[in-house]
Amino acid sequence: MGMFDGKKGLITGVFNKQSIAWAIAERIMEEGGSCGFSYMPDKADDARQKNLNRIQKLTDGNPGVVFLQPMDATNDEHIATVMDRCKSDLGQIDFLLHSIAFALPEDLKGDTIATSREGFKLAMEISVFSLIAIAHAAQPVLSDGATILTLTYFGGEKTVPGYNVMGVCKAALDSVTKYLAHDLGPRGIRVNALSAGPLQTISGRGAGVEDMLGLYEAMAPLGRNITHEEAGKSGCFLLSDMSSGITGEILHLDGGYNAMGSPGRLLDRIQAAQAS
């Protein structure tokens, strides 16, 4: 028996095979879970429907996939339609994965102090308020004791140059996680966040993940970067009954990087290089 046998839920934000959300969803379905997927809608003039085709290639033939539904996270009608689809195709759901974030490239790559007003509002609406909006709309279809998980990053806790406005968004997302945990706690619904270290994903590349991989490998106590498989297992744990006493928590999956108060073994490398 799998830990998700008989469990049903909604996965948002899968973009491609490298998405952390896909690593989590794939593991859930391997463990017997059934998933509905929402994805970013294609533009009206995109006859190729690239977003739909991309997720169809991932999900086709997987018996755990129940539906695919486009959803614009800034559109309440879209969100309501997804919840109606959950109700009709899944009934009550046991888990919900929020994996939605966006900032304009010029705001993400520029210094935080140069963030545009409209760009800031857009980044906060999509990356932060979407969790509130989706959790609110999902209340009628969430089972008592269900679990919500969002994806965050250490750049919301400490300054990470290059992460810029998205770090501000993640700080807000971390706070929303805790407040929603309080609001939904009376129903036994848990809300947590997974803070993964750098991985090769679309959003990671936009935030300069290539520059971070070597740093994490050199500084993390484990001396290596994490894997998509580990992200899948950790997310699966937080969405399962195995974590039944955990809510309002930010779980760091980064080889221990977040625990470091100094460069650690990286300093040894620097000193050795200077000595030579």
pLDDT tens-digit profile of 98-121? 999 999 999 999 999 999 999 999
Sign of the alpha-carbon dihedral angle for 107, 168, 119, 48 = positive
What band does 262 get if pLDDT is binned at 50, 70 and 90?
confident
| Catalytic (active-site) positions | 153, 163
Q: By mean pLDDT, which of 133-142, 179-188, 194-203, 258-267 is the weakest?
A: 194-203
Reported CATH class of domain 8-275: alpha beta
Distance CA 66, CA 146 (A): 19
Backbone angles phi, psi at 202, to 5 degrees: -60, -50
Residue 113, judged by CB atoms within 10 A of its CB (0-12, 13-18, 19+), counts as: exposed
| CA-to-CA dists, residue 3 to 10, 43, 100, 141, angstroms | 17, 38, 25, 21
What does the CA dihedral 229, 150, 22, 73 come to, rounded to 10 degrees?
A: -160
Q: What is the mean pLDDT of the chain?
A: 94
Instruction: Of 32-46, 194-208, 245-259, give the range with the top mean pLDDT.
Output: 245-259
Domains of the chain, by residue range, sit at 8-275
Identify the pLDDT of residue 209: 67
